[in-house]
Amino acid sequence: MIAFKTVKYHIERESALNSKLPHVGTSIFSTMTGLANQYQAINLSQGFPEFDAPERLKATLNQTVGQGMNQYSPSAGIAPLQQQIGALVERKYGLKIDAAQAVTVTSGATEALFVAISAIVQAGDEVIVFDPAYDSYEPAIHLAGGIAVPMALRAPHYAIDWPLLEQAVSDKTRAIIINTPHNPSARVLSKADIEALKGIVIKHDLLLISDEVYEHITFDGNTHHSVLGEKALFERAFVVSSFGKTFHCTGWKMGYCVAPPKLTAEFRKIHQYVTFSSFTPAQFAIADMLENEPEHIDELGAFYQRKRDLLVNALASSRFTCLPSEGTYFLLLDYRRLSDLSDVEFCEYLVKEVGVAAIPLSVFYHTPNDDKVIRLCFAKEDATLLSAAEKLCQL
């Protein structure tokens, strides 16, 4: 009798379920990794490091757990980590902040982005997002009742047409989301881009969410122009970063948001109900790394530039065209000399027949588009990159 009642209840509940994200299915990243495992292909699709986190970071995490620091932290993060983030912001971008009022530690950049969007987007608000973009922005805008307005960036340069962007600003526009260094294009916004952005944001009284998770990974002398380095922009911005990218520990899901106190107050109201606080032992370990091994961050650009160069050189005799990679740990390849297949079909062929998993660029687009470009992640061991390149050169 009780069992019957339970089944009936589930049926009624299911028919009442109206998906809030009806178009969202399994992500291409899970699909490609699944195929890479099934076909034993080299996986350059998903964006995570193959190598381990620094020894000091792991040792301090173990010690912290051993010492019993295993309970909730303050919702905004432990004070030593907030202060180290404040010191990093000052050292890198010359901005002095009151860390207690401006820094919130989050469970990855993904949480910070979700919370920032939830904090400012009201029903009917428009948010300008670049197209292609990291896949978490649009669903978060949609869940907040807002509308994502895509601004197309096209191969091979993925340059921003600022006058066109300004035309997309309406009386409903609430914010712009930028991402530099940019995933998936691997381009870095220039000083001129930041100036153009500043003009538009101030003129139209907009808010800004700046996703800077690859802030320490730029190449060939390309400087990362952070919104934290532009006081007039920072006054109206949430700047988001990720320790997962910086310390090769994506699985820890540790990130943070820096914003002026007024915006931070709204951010924290939501953060406390999304997760309340983030993994306490990792906060101590990261604070220790920032204080005692700052060279890790300072050497990160050179570390990844060497890997990028290794892969680009190993692909030199291939029929792919490597597009410029100025930052992040991604390299885009144009394959139009090799195939007329769509980028999704081409990636399926690569993983099944060639033994290399990549991501088709079209999946990052809101508006359908196929420039015959695929994305490779080079945060991998040298031997992995060389084996993948050898396979790709055979095409």
Ligand X SMILES: Cc1ncc(COP(=O)(O)O)c(C=O)c1O
Binding residues vs ligand X (CB under 6 A): 47, 108-110, 134, 179, 183, 211, 213, 242, 244, 250, 253, 255
Cα distances from 369 to residues 74, 213, 348, 363, in angstroms, run 45, 25, 18, 9
Q: Which is nearer to ligand X, 112 or 149 (CB)?
A: 112
* Closest approach of ligand X to the CB of residue 172, in Å: 25
**Distance between CA atoms of residues 167 and 337, nearest Å:** 36
Query: Minimum Å distance from CB 177 to ligand X?
Result: 10
Nearer to ligand X, 49 or 281 (CB): 49
Kindly state the smallest distance separating residue 176's Cβ from ligand X, in Å: 15
Of 148 and 314, nearer to ligand X (C-beta) is: 148
- As a whole number of Å, the end-to-end CA separation of the chain is 64
Outline where DSSP puts E strands in 2-133. 42-43, 103-106, 126-131
- Tell me the β-bridge partners of 176: 128, 208
Cβ-closest position to ligand X? 108
Compare residues 88 and 354 and give the one whose CB is closer to ligand X: 88
Specify the residue, 47 or 360, whose C-beta has the smaller distance to ligand X: 47
- CA pair distance 307, 43, nearest whole angstrom: 16
Query: Least distance to ligand X from the beta carbon of 150, Å?
Result: 16
> What amino acid occupies position 385?
L
* Nearest distance from C-beta of residue 137 to ligand X, angstroms: 9
Smaller CB separation from ligand X, 105 or 196 = 105
Q: How far lies 175's CA from each of 141, 171, 236, 244, 370, in Å?
A: 11, 11, 10, 26, 27
Give yes or no for a contact between 103 and 86, defined as CB atoms under 8 angstroms apart: yes
- Distance (Å, rounded) from C-alpha 33 to C-alpha 102? 37
Q: Which residues pair with 331 in a beta bridge?
A: 376
Residue 21: φ, ψ to 5°: -130, 65
Supply the minimum distance, in Å, between the C-beta of residue 66 and ligand X. Answer: 26
Closest distance between ligand X and the C-beta of residue 117, in Å? Answer: 12
Please check whether residue 236 is in contact with residue 262, taking contact to mean a CB–CB distance below 8 angstroms: no
Quote the tokens at residue 334: 């144009």
User: Quick one: which of 331, 299, 295 has its CA closest to 315?
Assistant: 331
Minimum distance between the CB of residue 11 and ligand X, rounded to whole angstroms? Answer: 36
Closest to ligand X by CB, 304 or 355: 304
Give the nearer residue to ligand X in terms of CB position, either 27 or 223.
27
